[in-house]
Amino acid sequence: MAKVRRMSFVTVRHHLYTVSRPSRGAPVVDDIARQNGVGPVDVDLLRALEVNALAPAAPHAVKHGTRLHELALITSYLRITAANAFVLRADDYGSSSRRIKSFVSEAVGLGMLTELVRHLAGGGRMGPLYDFDALPATLAGRFRRPGVRPDLLFAMERHWLAGESRGRTERRPVRVTKEPRKRLDALLPWAAAHGDHPLVMTWCYLAGTGVTVDVYREAGQGERLALDFTGRRNGPAKAGDGEWLRDRQSDDVGTEYLFEHVLATRARVEEQLYSSAPPTGIRIAERPLRGGWTPADLIAGEPGALFLGVLERPVSPEEGLESAAVLADRGIDDGSGLSVLIRERLVLALATGRTGQPWDVLGGQLSS
């Protein structure tokens, strides 16, 4: 039986908000109520990095070397404790410039949003993300104001879900909801303009003692947005995870139109990464692999190697899961602590027990 890729946990606090919708004027938040069920929720670091790995750089092309070091910058500020909790390297973060702090907190916030949406009902069948920055100008224009536009769109099993993420550091998680309420008030006109579009918002607080994520969703949305945080996820993803479903409800843009455009954007980013990445001489699922390694800790130099790679052509969800499981099993057996994510053409790997260029963990020749 395949061994499960190791996950780490964050603390999640669940909130429901209610909305007042006057006959005239913009909708506003009426109340925010914290729910029971606060506790640890498993998240996968590599899956949290996926949205950052595939971010477009239009009008410029994405370059493999640049993107690899961006991902390493994110992992350099995070640490996993012996208790398997995500924490921030607070001292290193505190000594960094404001611009670097903003990049790290935003990137981690986006990653936590994507991971926690997977805990929504049907979240296991979520496809690749609809990043608003990835939409063509003509399509993004149909999601224009009024209101602040969210960060991401998610393709769920029967609907589209808009997601907004905020990252905060250097302070404890808020006990009051003044700032989240203001942000929701800014987002609600956008949701109302698009047929009361389902909206979820996360606020991610990074600290040296742990990561806390506040989740906000509208009350009364029913099972379509029911969060399942009742237990930590210990099992592997199902073979169908990541499949795109075309039978969702229609919206004002048209699901097929949106589907095709965002698939094209993801394919374009993957091809840009593949074209700019060096060949490895390794094949995964009978497909040539390009990519490279970099230290996962660019600050303190602790052990760990991060890999970003792209396959010549996509794999099916089943092929990706099977190939990742085989490599992860090998990593457990040889002590490299290898975690692997293979989705479509993207390959992400983290070898926590290795340094240098550990090509052997991917089936290549050992390189120091």
Distance CA 227, CA 201 (A): 13
3-state secondary structure of 201: strand
3-state secondary structure of 105: helix
Sign of CA dihedral 201, 123, 211, 105: negative
Distance CA 358, CA 163 (A): 36
Instruction: List the one residue out of 14, 18, 13, 23 whose CA is nearest residue 188.
Output: 18
Domain boundaries along the sequence of the chain:
1-225+248-276, 278-368
Per-residue pLDDT of the chain (368 residues), as tens digits, is 233 345 788 999 889 999 998 888 888 999 998 887 667 888 889 988 998 998 888 789 999 999 999 999 999 999 988 888 889 999 999 999 999 999 999 999 989 988 888 776 444 445 545 556 555 555 566 666 566 788 877 766 666 777 888 887 756 666 667 889 999 999 998 888 877 888 899 999 999 989 999 999 888 765 444 444 443 333 333 333 333 333 334 444 555 566 666 677 888 999 999 999 999 999 999 999 999 999 999 999 999 999 999 999 999 989 999 999 999 887 666 778 899 999 999 999 999 989 999 999 998 765 54
- Say how many Å lie between the first and final Cα of the chain, rounded: 31
294 close to 255: Cβ distance less than 8 angstroms:
no
Question: Residue 10 CA to chain centroid, in angstroms?
Answer: 14
Q: Phi then psi for 43, rounded to 5 degrees? A: -135, 155
Side-chain-facing half-sphere of 14: CA atoms under 13 Å = 19
For the stretch 186-196, pLDDT in tens is: 999 888 887 78
Angle formed at CA 79 by CA 365 and CA 303, multiple of 5 degrees: 30
- Length of the chain counted residue by residue: 368
Element (H, E) at 165: strand 160-169
Predicted TM-score (pTM) of this structure: 0.84
Distance CA 123, CA 134 (A): 21
Q: Phi then psi for 81, rounded to 5 degrees? A: -75, 175
3-state secondary structure of 94: helix
